[in-house]
Amino acid sequence: MSTDKPAFQLTRRPFLASGLAALLGPSLAACETPPARRQFPEITFTHLPVINLDVARIDIVSKYQSAQQPGDIAAQFPEAPEKTLANWSRDRLRAAGTMGEAVFTILSARATQTALARSAGLSAALNKDQSDRYDLELAVWLTAENPYLGRSGEVTARTTRSQTVAEDMTLNEREGILFDMLDQAMRDINQRLETAIPQYLEAFIR
C-alpha cells in the first residue's frame, strides 16, 4: 500500500496561509502602537528670586474654579492654568513678617474652544482650514494688610492669549499649542506682578 499523502492535503496549504493572513491583517493593523504622548515640563518659578512680604501668612484663594465653569477646557491643558497660577504664588511669595496677611486670589483661569467656519465644496478639498480658536484668560489679585501698623495695599494682573489651529492637527500638536499658550501667559503674569508689587506694595517688601 502506498504511503503518499493525498494530493488535497498539499493543495490546501497555500489556501490556509493566505486565509490566515487575511484574517490577521486587520488585527495586526489594529494593534499598531499609537504615537507616544509628548511629555511636558511643569511650569514653575523656583528659578526666580523670592519676593519677601512683611506678613505672617500668605493664603491662596481661587474664585474661578475651571471644573465648575460650563465650556471651560482647562482640564485639557497639559497643566491646569488654575494650578499654574497657584504655583506662582507658592514659588515666588514668602511670608517674612510676624503680623498681618497677604491673599493671592485667582480671579480667572478661563480656557475656551470656539469652532470656526469651515470651507465647503471644492474649497474644502483644496484648502486646509483653521478649524478652532483657543482663548485663555488669566487674572489674579494680590492684597496685603497689616492692621496693627495700619498698612494695606493691592495689585492686579491680567493677560489673554488666543490661537487658531488647523483642522488636521494631531493630539500632540494640540497639547503643544495649549502648553505654549499657558507658558507665554504665565511669563506675562510674572512680569506684570514683578513690576506692580514693588510699586503698590512697597511698604510690605522686605
The listed CATH number (1.20.1260, 3.30.160, 2.60.40, 1.10.760) that belongs to domain 45-116+127-204 = 3.30.160
pLDDT at 201 over 60: yes
- What's the CA gap between 115 and 139, in Å, rounded? 24
Q: Model-level pTM?
A: 0.78
What is the domain partition of the chain in residue ranges? 45-116+127-204
Average pLDDT of the segment spanning 167-188: 93
Share of the chain above pLDDT 70, in %: 78
DSSP character string of 11-32: HHHHHHHHHHHHHHHHHHHHTP
Q: Is the pLDDT of residue 2 over 60?
A: no
Residue scoring higher pLDDT (32 or 165): 165
In which band, very low, low, confident or very high, does the pLDDT at 7 lie, cut at 50, 70 and 90?
Answer: very low
Q: Based on the number of CB atoms within 10 Å of its own CB, is 30 exposed (0-12), middle (13-18) or buried (19 or more)?
A: exposed
pLDDT digits (tens, 9 = 90+) for 101-131: 999 999 999 999 999 986 665 555 556 777 8
pLDDT single digits (tens) 127-168:
677 789 999 999 999 999 999 889 999 999 999 999 999 888
- Taking residues 62-84, what's their average pLDDT? 92
Task: Please determine, for residue 14, whether its predicted confidence score (pLDDT) is greater than 70.
Answer: no
- Per-residue confidence (pLDDT) for residue 127, from 0 to 100: 65
Return all residues near 153 (Cβ < 8 A) that are at least 6 apart.
143, 144, 145, 200, 201, 202, 203, 204
